[in-house]
Amino acid sequence: MMRSKLENLLLLAFFLTSLPLALPQVKPNQASIIHVEISGLRNDRGQVLCALYSSPDAFPKDSKKAVAHVTSAISYQHAVCEFSGIASGTYAVSVFHDENSNSKLDTKFMGVPREGVGASNNAKGHLGPPKFHDAAFPFAGGRLDLQITITYL
């Protein structure tokens, strides 16, 4: 018996819709992470506070204008800060050793830090904190590992 073209098309449509769909496997994006290793701490007291800035506006003095903050415990004069979920862009990191855990950078006369400080690229300031352009680095996503050495003035 001859089937009509319509019956054949309907039969083909039925078979095609009953087959499991083979969709391409989509791997989830790895979290974008800026991983910062901090060394040079003179003791294990207190904590390390890290701030991530996306512009020179207030870097590194006003952490309220940072795009992200991380607090890290200290072990064997070493600490790690990780900023996750960070978009591509240009950033700079500032770090300080908050030895007395008061969550602020203690200073001496004329604003000289009493506690250890550091910045990405190990940028140093001249008669003040480092400039954003000296500490800045490009971030394209994925994972970026940085190393910062704390300096005590």
Q: For residue range 82-131, what is the model confidence (pLDDT) as tens digits?
A: 999 999 999 999 999 999 999 999 999 888 999 999 999 999 998 899 99
Whole-model pTM? 0.79
- pLDDT at position 98 is 98
Angle among Cα 41, 47, 34 to the nearest 5 degrees reads: 80
* CATH code for the part of the protein at 33-149: 2.60.40
Count the helices and strands in the chain (H runs, E runs). Answer: 2, 8
- pLDDT at position 68 is 98
The yes-or-no verdict on residue 47 having pLDDT over 80 is: yes
Residues near 24 by beta carbon (within 8 Å), at least 6 away in sequence: none
**Region of poorest pLDDT, from 15-19, 54-58, 123-127:** 15-19
The yes-or-no verdict on residue 16 having pLDDT over 50 is: no
The yes-or-no verdict on residue 25 having pLDDT over 50 is: no
- pLDDT at position 134 is 98
- pLDDT at position 94 is 98
Q: For residue range 132-152, what is the model confidence (pLDDT) as tens digits?
A: 999 999 999 999 999 999 999
